[in-house]
Amino acid sequence: RRVHGGVTGLLAWPKMTDLFHDAERVDRYLREQLSHRILLLDGAMGTMVRRYKLKEEDYRGERFKEHVGDLRGNNDLLVLTQPAIIEEIHRQYLLAGADIVETNTFNGTSVSQADYNLQHLVHELNVTAARLARKVADEISVQQPHKRRFVAGAIGPTSKTLSISPSVEDAGFRSVTFDEVVHAYKEQVAGLVEGGVHILLVETIFDTLNAKAALFAIDEYFEETKQPRLPIWISGTITDLSGRTLSGQTVEAFLTSVLHSNPLAVGLNCALGAEQMRPFLQRLALACPTFVSTYPNAGLPNAMGGYDETAKSFADSVKEFATAGMVNLAGGCCGTTPAHIQALAEALANVTPRVPPTIPPALRLSGLEGLVVTPELNFVNIGERCNIAGSIQFKKLILANNYDEALSVARRQVESGAQILDINMDEGLLDGVAAMTKFLRLAVTDPDIARVPLMIDSSKFHIIEAGLKCVQGKCIVNSISLKGGEAEFLKQASIVQRYGAAVVIMAFDEEGQAADMDSKVRICCRAYDLLREKLDFAAQDIIFDPNILTIATGLEEHNNYAVDFIQAIPLIKQRCPGARISGGLSNLSFGFRGLIELRESIHSVFLYHAIKAGMDMGIVNAGALPMYDDIPIELRQLVEEVVLNKSEDGKHVERLLAYAEKEKERKERGGGSAAVTVTSEWRGWPVEKRLEHALVKGIVEYIEEDAEVARQQFARPLHIIEGPLMAGMSVVGDLFGSGKMFLPQVIKSARVMKKAVAYLIPFMEKEKEEMRQKLQHETGVVDEEASRFAGTVLLATVKGDVHDIGKNIVGVVLGCNNYKVIDLGVMCSCDKILEVAAKEKVDVIGLSGLITPSLDEMVFNAKEMQRRGITTPLLIGGATTSKMHTAVKIAPVYNGPTVHVLDASRSVVVVASLIDSAQKDEFIEDVRDQYAELREEHYASLQDRKHKTLAEARKKRLAVAWNERLPATLVPSLTGTKVLLEYPLAELVPFIDWNPFFQVWQLRGKYPNRGYPKIFDDATVGAEAKKLFEEAQEMLQEIIATKGLEARGIVGIYPANSVGDDIEVYANEEQRDTPIAVFHTLRQQAEPETDEPMLALSDFIAPKESGVRDYVGAFAVAAGFGLHALVAKYEADHDDFKAIMAKALADRLAEAFAELIHQRTRREFWGYAPNEGLDVDDLLKVKYQGIRPAPGYPSQPDHTEKTIMWDLMKVAEETGITLTESLAMDPAAAVSGLIFANPESHYFAVGTICKDQVEDYARRKKVAVEQVEKWLSANLNYEA
């Protein structure tokens, strides 16, 4: 750990009022500097102190000569007894290039100084240390006025921990309380501020609860003293290569836990060297919305506890991740010296600092792991069984002081799917504070429980606060309300805010509980306004509980309670942007206590409708809720009538009450009829032939039965896989390779194979250890699993991309050819990919992506593989990839084999060639020769192709005589936005373009039968295409009937005019001077072969100076809501065919939705073509007026323009369609674009552009040129 220092007796200090006046200016200056260069922190104080070889008497000095107890090692004390030494160390670091030095106060709290019996000196130690550091910093600032120096007040973790018991026997024991730690930190902060520090640095955080106590103390100190707030810098410590703090949090969970303090920077320090810290710093840099710091150790400690990494090696390591864009501040921790800082200053002198990413607002919570509540989660389950008021079992355990078993209840809730745990100790016979404290102190030490965020639940605020003092993660408070008036409400909310928690607001005010819809909305909106206006409480941390009240009680006034709740949800969310909706389900069915199945059915039906209305989370018995479709239809109809308070005769409540009386009898009924099985001739064949036949034909019905028969006949289950199953798949592979079998059939075969293997796995596991030992003894081979495969291939969709249909197909095809496939899914970070690749010893790594930013991510992955010395063959695939891009951008940065794979049919040949030692070298050499030729062609084409300057290109813009004709667009019928939720899927079907569907399945007809429906007549693929189409129709009808997918969309039309190459968007006709958004367009610069205009999308909008009032539209649609659950259901049944089919149909529905929305816009919303009578075939041939180009595609290749659309129309808030960090739409089955009505508008490709346009574009967008070059890398006519 670092230890820091300071001195007394300094003269001419600035007045305190001057210091306070400077606080805001210091903060502003630091933020400005951090945006332009990497600032440097000093190195280790303790390492430098040890060089002086101080003895006990040196630490004591004259003042502490008679002190009882050893003082050697208390480096903080040296500011009083050896101030010259501490001053000299500060000076060396500042002259070495440090911008910031830390005070020598790492252990400057009463908690830590109590170890030396010097707790009474804390204030003096901190004031003195701060003044000493300021003195030296100010002196160097005067000597080197071009570079202002600053002092950070070092606030260490103390010698105690709030999350971990020091007693092995008692996990609930703590040697110090939260309040005691807060008091200690507040005392330290007061001294540091009085001494004149510029920054407060809470560092070396191994227990986040300690850090939260420090942040609590800082906030409380500034509020009480009314002094200007100093910038806060937070630095955590990842204690080992597991990537967690000592108290168990991941990097992301730690970040979420401390961001409420609005820090200047968050970073990592200590415990690890730079090389070991890199992957964790990378994760932090990707997630952190503010500046990021790093000050690692000089490598790992040697056997003697010292550090051996040289200054150059240290600086080179830090520079690596600085140049990767991860860092804004850098320095050194244990083992580093002024030499290390000087080397670092030289290494980072010209490195561009990290640009903090824009993190979309969302409810972010944490336990040991993070939880981001996004629309993709659909609904967050809050486990209810640790609530004394709701669980008799839990109540009995707590009252009996049986906390071990009570923890088991919590553990089971998490295992059953609870994403958050509700903890409530409200019981008249219980000391609520003591019970809450004891249970939480135990729970946070159990990683199976503590990994999820907690909800601290009580009607008594002092119990809530007791709970908040025990939890290191960001939790939820449940609840506060306006019941006691506004003053009490705001006071409690401000305390919650200081602890960094989210909060549930009950719909309750001074007049009582909200029962009807209007009162629910009124109270929630009032509370929201108070929180936002009075406290600036983060909107995403506000959760409303509009009261789920009991229905079907026999009292008529209660019958509409569920409807009132459901109808209030969208009204509250519309009026209170960012807020979430929650509720406790047990109240709803309280009248049916004891009838568990009925109550769970009521809860399931209610949730089905409430979630569709926008309910985000609820307190439920995780794992106990039946699926809506699984509820017997008779019961479901009864319950639905009661929940929705609607039936033809109005007697629905009476019917359910009667049903309840009979439920016990109904539950006891059982039975059923056996299925009748129709067999055919092949069922009489030997089992080996039956297995092969089932695989080739894709017949799944009998596979488990036949696998069991085979198991009885074969010596080992493994022999069944290696024998008849692999033989069958070999036939499948041969048929596919020869073109006699098509992809849909292959995937059905894979489904059969998966089911057979899934059946055999338990038997294989049973004998696994014995066989492994036998195999090792006989052959020396340890990994029996790997031995049965032709090779191991890892597949992953890269970070930021959510598309995976093509990748999944490649995986199936490789699996059919006896390769072990490890599919990591989507949004895979480079670290995860390479970590699994190393662990599994894979033979090939395959990267996939659909959107253009994925190309850059693939380049990054290749560079990282090169940096780590990996040589594993790399496959590149996906719709946006190409052989040319792979040759030009990826292959040159990676020395290992790099191969672009066009489609699934080529993957087997490529992988086999890369793994087969007989042909590997020749194959790789051939690919490298091909790619070298492609690179030569590419660079030659750049030289041959002539480009106009941007100024010249603008002179050749599309010429339109705007003033000689009416506006192209007329006045739209709709201005503003229209949201379309739960759009009927049946209405989308006629607009489906089926040609891309067959392309997904790699079915291609030959002329004249290339397209749909002519493909059905093709002699080669026609029959299979027809069969596939029929199966698609069957699934499509099932999806429509069961509402398996949901379509949502939004369309907006706005007044607009072009200004140069930009399109200004206005709120209304009266405010055309003040744009509310600006779309930026790119202009063609490659010189055309004829005298054609050089286009930009802005050419299709009337220029502002023309005086013509023009308009522009925008839209976003998705048909992928519900797809995850649908695919998960098929994958759980090992049915890859249906999983891929579902994804392909969702994509088609999304495209169809876009086509329909565009048609409705032309005819209805905008109305510029009200009489358009085109059929679907004409629509797909784009015979209509106008275009709908999408950002990221040829007419505007910049994906970042999507963010302007999303902000303008509030797409995420209104529809749940979100953007990933690489700006892919999520769900993946989504389409977006701008809408132009101009009759002269048409699609075009921007093509390659020059440096002058890139610089101009960056200036217009107010972003760095490097950022533009990153997003437009495929369009640059120069090497960036």
Return the active site residues.
801, 803, 854
Q: Which residue, chain included where needed, has tokens 């493994």?
A: 718
Q: What share of the chain is helix, strand, coil (3-state, %, to 5)?
A: 50, 15, 35
Alpha helices in 331-460 (DSSP H): 338-347, 392-399, 403-415, 432-443, 447-450
**Cα separation of 475 and 498, whole Å?**
12
Rounded to 5°, the CA angle 615-618-622 comes to 130
H helix or E strand, kind and range, residue 273: strand 265-273
Q: Which of 325, 317, 368, 371 is nearest to 343 (CA)?
A: 317
Beta-sheet pairing, 508-509 with 512-513? antiparallel
H helix or E strand, kind and range, residue 569: helix 561-575
Question: Side-chain half-sphere of 939: how many Cα atoms within 13 Å?
Answer: 9
**Cα separation of 344 and 353, whole Å?**
14
Alpha helices in 373-431 (DSSP H): 392-399, 403-415
Distances (CA, A) of 770 to 254, 713, 715, 718: 43, 20, 14, 13
Spacing of C-alpha 195 from chain mean position:
41
**Cα separation of 780 and 777, whole Å?**
6
Distances (CA, A) of 729 to 496, 806, 815, 820: 60, 20, 9, 13
**Cα separation of 1134 and 1129, whole Å?**
9
H helix or E strand, kind and range, residue 151: strand 150-155
Q: Which of 1210, 1157, 791, 870 is nearest to 987 (CA)?
A: 1157
| Coil, strand or helix at 679 | coil
Beta-carbon contacts of residue 1180 (< 8 Å; ≥ 6 apart): 993, 1155
**Cα separation of 162 and 247, whole Å?**
9
Distances (CA, A) of 161 to 214, 268, 368, 1177: 12, 19, 16, 69
Q: Is the dihedral of CA 115, 121, 123, 126 positive or negative?
A: negative
Beta-carbon contacts of residue 134 (< 8 Å; ≥ 6 apart): 10, 13, 151, 195, 196, 197
**Cα separation of 1116 and 609, whole Å?**
24
In the structure, how many helices (H) and strands (E) does the chain have?
46, 33
Asked whether 296 and 274 are in contact (CB, 8 A), the reply is yes
**Cα separation of 559 and 570, whole Å?**
20
Q: Which of 215, 207, 302 is nearest to 249 (CA)?
A: 207
**Cα separation of 1093 and 1100, whole Å?**
12
DSSP designation for 721: I
**Cα separation of 811 and 822, whole Å?**
8
- Describe the crossing of helices 920-944 and 904-915 by its angle, rounded to 10 degrees: 120
3-state helix/strand/coil string of 1166-1205? CCCCCCCCCCHHHHHCCCCCCECCCCCECCECCCCHHHHH
| Coil, strand or helix at 121 | helix
Q: Which of 912, 834, 914, 899 is nearest to 866 (CA)?
A: 834
